[in-house]
Amino acid sequence: MRMQTRSRLVRWRIVILGFILAAVILVGTTAVYQNWQFMAGWAAFQSGDYATAFRKWRPLAEHGHVKAQHNIGSMYLRGEGVPKDYTKAEKWTRKAAEQGRAVSQYNLGWLYANGRGVPQDYAEAAKWYRMAAEQNESEAQTNLGIMYLWGQGGVPQDDTEAHKWFSLAATQGLKRAVELRDDSAKKLTPAQLAEAQQLAREWMEEHGQTNAAQRSIANAIKSVVAMWEFVIEDLIESADRVQPSAVGRTVLLGTWWWDVESDSQGRSSRADVWWEQVTRTARYLTPKNGAQLALLRGADYDSIGLKELQRARYSGERLSGSDSERVLRPGTVVAMKTAEGNYAKLKVLGYRSAHDFSFKEAANLRDSWKSMVRSRPDTPNYHLEVAWSLYR
């Protein structure tokens, strides 16, 4: 009986250890994935693609990723990629600040000090500035020093304490902190100045501040790690990206219907669009047979994949290629949900005149029709040339 009990205990321990190991692997994998997504957002942000950065960071922020929460808050604070919104800035900044991120604590203090997104409250500002300052955040140290200089937010007026915080910020190279440190020193007696300098040294010793060389090495290591995380992310995304089943380049004939699935033109129940000619200057790309279109303003054709096409907002509305309101300019990207329920992307390459028959699709036109067209004044922008990719 005792042997059976021990055997059961051993089995239970193995099961429990298995669950613990699985949990550790899951948490570790999730953390790595989140960091990859964060770095992909950072690369987009650095290139000025704020919309992609926001799209990468928002899900991470909602799942508690502190850096993503801070960045989403900062985007709302500065109006980068989203309308400036101090209330939303405060919401996301607070989430990161409550997780202990120093720069978020400083930003939250700034919001309170300036009454942005929250009622102006110097006491709350001082509280968050102090939290950030204790983590060696130089802007927070400077602003906390100013509060000591003027005795704001329940902070007692204390020139010595103010000089201490200015000195700590100045050691990090913050220009305004250097100026405030030097100006405040002029107001102190030699004894007060010595005390302020001693307080600053003690603070640095207590908080174990490393020297500049050590910080530079640490930052360099972080940069290398971040670079490799982004490289791995890019490789994974490339491997995971669905490749188009067909690609091509087609001239849509004026007044003709086009089926992207077969890349054929002519009136058909399978056709996806009609390159409709209303007048010599008015023309439209009109969906047919249940197909739908979505204009992807500012999109990069090469970066659009199946996932982006599936998320597009489609409608049965036609898109204008008219001279007076031309939406379909060269470079414009259009998403298509085909009549058969598949997805395609189009890129406008340019236009051909009615007298131009130098492209392969012109072989579909009868010689008699060509002669008739040539006998009339030419119509610019009559045919539409596009590049396309189809995803089945």
Binned at pLDDT 50, 70 and 90, residue 333 comes out as very high
How far apart, in whole angstroms, are the C-alpha atoms of residue 243 and residue 186? Answer: 68
CATH topology of domain 23-225: 1.25.40
354, pLDDT greater than 50: yes
How far apart, in whole angstroms, are the C-alpha atoms of residue 64 and residue 303? Answer: 28
Q: Which 8-state DSSP code applies to residue 209?
A: P
230, pLDDT greater than 70: no
Provide the pLDDT for residue 1. Answer: 41
Provide the pLDDT for residue 110. Answer: 95
Identify residue 386 by its one-letter amino acid code. Answer: V
Provide the pLDDT for residue 120. Answer: 93
Q: What is the mean pLDDT of residues 255-262?
A: 92
Provide the pLDDT for residue 3. Answer: 41
Provide the pLDDT for residue 33. Answer: 64
351, pLDDT greater than 70: yes
How far apart, in whole angstroms, are the C-alpha atoms of residue 353 and residue 254? Answer: 9
Extract the tokens encoding 115: 């009454």
Non-local (6+) Cβ contacts of 266 within 8 A are 256, 257, 364
Q: What is the mean pLDDT of residues 15-40?
A: 58
Q: 3-class SS at 266?
A: coil
Which of 129, 126, 156 is closest to 141 using CA atoms?
Answer: 129
How big is the chain by its Cα radius of gyration, in Å?
A: 32
How far apart, in whole angstroms, are the C-alpha atoms of residue 199 and residue 274? Answer: 78
Q: 3-class SS at 349?
A: strand
Q: What is the pLDDT of residues 36-91, one digit of tens each?
A: 788 888 888 888 888 999 999 999 999 999 999 999 999 999 998 899 999 999 99
Q: What is the pLDDT of residues 293-315, one digit of tens each?
A: 999 988 888 888 888 898 899 99
Q: Is 88 exposed, middle or buried (0-12, 13-18, 19+ CB in 10 A)?
A: middle
- Give the lowest-confidence range in 91-105, 171-185, 217-231: 217-231
Of 383 and 232, which is predicted with more confidence? Answer: 383
Provide the pLDDT for residue 348. Answer: 93
Provide the pLDDT for residue 68. Answer: 92
Domain ranges of the chain: 23-225, 246-391
347, pLDDT greater than 60: yes
Angle between helices 102-114 and 122-133 (to 10 degrees): 160
How far apart, in whole angstroms, are the C-alpha atoms of residue 277 and residue 260? Answer: 19
Provide the pLDDT for residue 389. Answer: 92
